[in-house]
Amino acid sequence: MTEKDLLYRVERHVGTITIHRAATRNAITLEAVTLFHAALDQALADVDVRAVCITGAGDKAFCSGADLGSGMQDDAAGRRDRFDSYARLISRLAEFPKPTVARVNGHCLAGGTGFMLACDIVIAKASAQFGTPEVNVGLFPMMIGALIFRNVPRKKAMEMILLGRRLTADQALSMGLVTRVVPDADLDAEVDQVLAELAAKSPIGLKLGKTAFAAAEQMPLTEAVRYLGSQLAVVAATQDAREGIRAFVEKRAPQFKGE
């Protein structure tokens, strides 16, 4: 595994993380997870980055999950380290304070489902397939189950997990696994449009909002509503909020600075 197997670039206020292992259907190794964390570190620290896009190399796969030929024969301690590292990554991605978009450019299977579901918005091409085939090799989609059950009704989730069958993009859409499905040829245009819209929003407003929602998700209803009300006051006090309101009154586009 070299750094070229996971690429990171910044363009037009978007940090793009690409799993660059097309020959293995973008399967993930422990080294790739480490590089993924490093890329998120860069995206978080860079004030020029207003949104993050996650995708895979080529046009066959977004991510096929763990590389079963790499590390699966480790001893018990080694396996735990690998699983813990992946668990920390999808947890971090799910709570990342900048908006995230999954560009699903091909099949999304097993652990790749975790990367996809951890993103805020998921845009998939129509020919992509989805699934959790772990049961077919004697495993079980443990960590990603936490995300599956936050996005998919329980009965449909259990059917997908227990049977290990592949789903079409339209089936994934109907279940709530993805946000939208587009013709293959339109994937880049659709993703670029969504990322451009996100990059035009207030960076601090989105950051404060995402962070507040993540904190409120586990609270009882009354506590969550009160907490979110207090956080709205914080957002309203930002320079960007004042600029946004002025721009609305003056009928012009706001110039957000992330302050």
Query: What mean pLDDT comes out for the span 21-25?
Result: 94
Residue 219 has pLDDT above 70, yes or no: yes
DSSP state letter for 22: G
Q: What is the pLDDT of residues 169-178, one digit of tens each?
A: 999 999 999 9
> pLDDT value at position 71?
56
Q: What is the mean pLDDT of residues 154-178?
A: 97
Residue-wise pLDDT for 233-243, tens only, equals 999 999 999 99
What is the model's pLDDT at position 1? 41
Q: Alpha-carbon distance 13 to 256, whole Å?
A: 13
Would you state the torsion angle of the CA atoms of residues 31, 34, 39, 42, taken in this order, to the nearest 10 degrees? -140
pTM of the model: 0.93
| Whether pLDDT at 251 is above 80 | yes
Q: What is the CATH number of domain 3-199?
A: 3.90.226.10
DSSP 128: -
CA atoms of 42 and 39, how far apart (whole Å): 5
Q: What is the pLDDT of residue 124?
A: 98
Amino acid at 64: S
Tell me what the mean pLDDT of segment 154-183 comes to: 97
Give helix 203-216 / helix 221-236 axis angle, nearest 10°.
170
**Residue 63 structure tokens:** 């991510």
For residue range 83-130, list pLDDT tens digits in order. Answer: 899 999 999 999 999 999 999 999 999 999 999 999 999 999 999 999
Q: What average pLDDT does this structure show over 138-149?
A: 95
The domain limits of the chain are 3-199, 203-249
Distance of CA 257 to the CA centre of its chain: 25
pLDDT of the residue at 75? 63
> 31-35, 187-191, 201-205, 234-238: lowest mean pLDDT where?
31-35
- For the annotated catalytic residues, the residue numbers are 134
**Average pLDDT score, the chain:** 94
**What Cα–Cα distance (Å) separates residue 6 from each residue in 20, 62, 83, 128?**
5, 13, 19, 21
Among 4-8, 69-73, 218-222, whose mean pLDDT is lowest? 69-73
The pLDDT value given to residue 242: 96
Report the share of the chain in percent with pLDDT over 70.
95
* Mean predicted confidence (pLDDT) in 133-143: 95
pLDDT in tens, 37-92: 999 999 999 999 999 999 999 999 999 998 876 655 666 776 788 889 999 999 99
What confidence score (pLDDT) does residue 157 get? 96
